[in-house]
Amino acid sequence: MNQAFRFLCVAALAVTLASCTVHRSPSVPGQPSGAVPLDTSPVHGRSRWVPVDWAELPGFEQDETAEAWTAWISSCERPAPAFASLCGDVRRLSLGSAGEQRDWMRAHLQPYRVEPLDGSAGEGLLTSYFEPVYDASRQPRPGFGAPIYGPPPTLGQRRPWYTRQEIDLLPEARAQLAGSELAWLADPVDAMILQIQGSGRVRITESDGSQHVVRLAFAATNDQPYRSPGKWLLGQGVLSDATWPGIKNWLAANPQRVQDFLWSNPRVVFFREEALSPLDAQFGPRGAQGVTLTPGRSIAVDPQSIPYGTPVWLASVGPVARLQRLVLAQDTGHAIVGAVRADYFAGWGPEAGDLAGRMKQPLKLWALWPK
């Protein structure tokens, strides 16, 4: 998200807030991982790939693979070496039927069940992330007092840079940020959520009253460690429901503790502003592969387990969703570590945020690699 900077410990928003470490996608293009020749049950970094028959992939005959082809074509903008020679066929098949696409995959790809190095067949973890959408003001004004910053000029002169609490309390920290404000949000909790997700869309009201939507993309951090505010609440013994709805209810009932909640996470993310054309608005931010993410068809993975640009069969059945579908490995995050671990890009806006905030379910993955 170059390494995608997803600030999700378990990329779901609620899980991220309730669990461990930062994840989100830096939208700064990175270099795709190279091809890895595969033998029988090859080891790829943190994972072991076991060749299987296509019949093992649950729901393969039912998936509307055409929906995934948009994500695959995006991957072909920066293909991993192993897939570059297939991109002509991928583009040609964008107008093909799901049956034609499945036949082509069977002819050109070999499915591999992704397992931990110890060969255990246990299920992994699927979480989800999204791109928030907020109203913002170009200038501070009543009701909009939570600043979103671009990288300050002195960022590289001190490592780590000031913590979130120091930025709020120390005059020298605030002085170094003066002039780096990109926009102002209404709620400081929303500002931190934007940082946890790593990118977002804001509907900015300019000083002349005009409005337009821009994307705030990941640019840098203060190099402080991520500490989960949700986990902090659990440690305080004040919360037993670590879902995002539970966290929001607690914050609403305890407004005097909001500042402590925010300061529990010392990491601050700085953004850059990107224009959002009508065409750009149909796609997500750029992930670690350097290509735009496709809602429901892009995932973040551990690139030491699955290289960027790899088509992956994903199967996850849980209380939030039943997913059996073709997806593309196009992003990563600091908390997305291990063989059978993925973060599902849900899209943008409230509905995507609701899904991301609740997603935490078992996962199985199959990498689809050229024969």
Do 155 and 269 lie in a common domain?
A: yes
User: How far apart, in Å, are the Cα atoms of 338 and each of 36, 114, 128, 199, 280?
Assistant: 17, 10, 16, 24, 32
Average pLDDT, rounded, for the chain: 87
17 falls within a domain: no
Q: Are residues 295 and 266 in the same domain?
A: no
Q: What is the dihedral of CA 176, 178, 183, 187, to 10 degrees?
A: 70
Residues 259 and 138 in one domain: yes
* Unique residue bearing structure tokens 């840098």: 220
- What would the pLDDT profile of 291-323 be if each residue is shown by its tens digit? 999 999 999 999 999 999 999 999 999 999 999
pLDDT at 120: 76
3-state secondary structure of 319: coil
Residues 226 and 91 in one domain: no
Q: How do residues 109-142 score in pLDDT, each as one tens digit?
A: 999 999 998 877 678 999 999 999 999 999 999 9
Among 262, 280, 298, residue at a domain's last position: 280
Are 112 and 159 found together in one domain? no
Is residue 272 in some structural domain?
yes
pLDDT of 4 higher than 70: no
pLDDT at 310: 97
Mean pLDDT of 26-52: 58
Q: Is the model more confident about 222 or about 8?
A: 222
The answer to whether residues 242 and 357 touch, using CB atoms and an 8 Å cutoff, is: no
Provide Rg for the chain, Cα atoms: 21
**Which pLDDT value is given to residue 37?**
43
Give the Cβ contact number of residue 273 at 10 Å. Answer: 16
Cα 146 versus chain centre, distance: 23
Average pLDDT (227-236) is: 90
pLDDT tens-digit readout, 156-215: 899 999 999 999 999 999 999 999 999 999 999 999 999 988 889 999 999 999 999 999
Are 35 and 76 contained in the same domain?
Answer: yes
Task: Give the tokens for residue 101.
Answer: 């696409």
Of the three residues 280, 301, 331, the one that is the final residue of a domain is 280
Q: Structurally, how many domains does the chain consist of?
A: 2
Domain-located, residue 265: yes
Q: Is 179 left (phi over 0), alpha (psi -120 to 50) or beta?
A: left
Does 211 lie in the same domain as 113?
no
The answer on 142 and 255 residing in a single domain is: yes
Residue 15, domain member (yes or no): no
Same domain, 318 and 365: yes
Q: Give the domain extent around 244.
A: 130-280
pLDDT at 15 (0 to 100): 42
Boundary (domain end) residue, out of 280, 300, 320: 280
Residue 5 lies in a domain: no
Do 154 and 188 belong to one domain?
yes
CATH number of 213's domain? 2.40.240.50
pTM: 0.79
Q: Which pLDDT score, from 0 to 100, does residue 9 have? A: 36
Q: In this structure, are residues 242 and 223 in contact, taking their beta carbons and an 8 Å threshold? A: no
Tell me, yes or no, whether 366 lies in a domain. Answer: yes
Supply the pLDDT for residue 239.
Answer: 85
Domain match, 169 and 55 both: no
Within 44-162, residue ranges assigned H as helices are 66-75, 87-92, 98-108
The candidate with the shortest Cα–Cα distance to 4, out of 329, 370, 341, 368, is: 329
Q: For residue 2, tell me if it sits in a domain.
A: no
Predicted confidence at residue 30, as pLDDT, reads 35
- The CATH number assigned to the domain holding 43 equals 2.40.40.10
Banded model confidence at residue 32, pLDDT cuts 50, 70, 90? very low
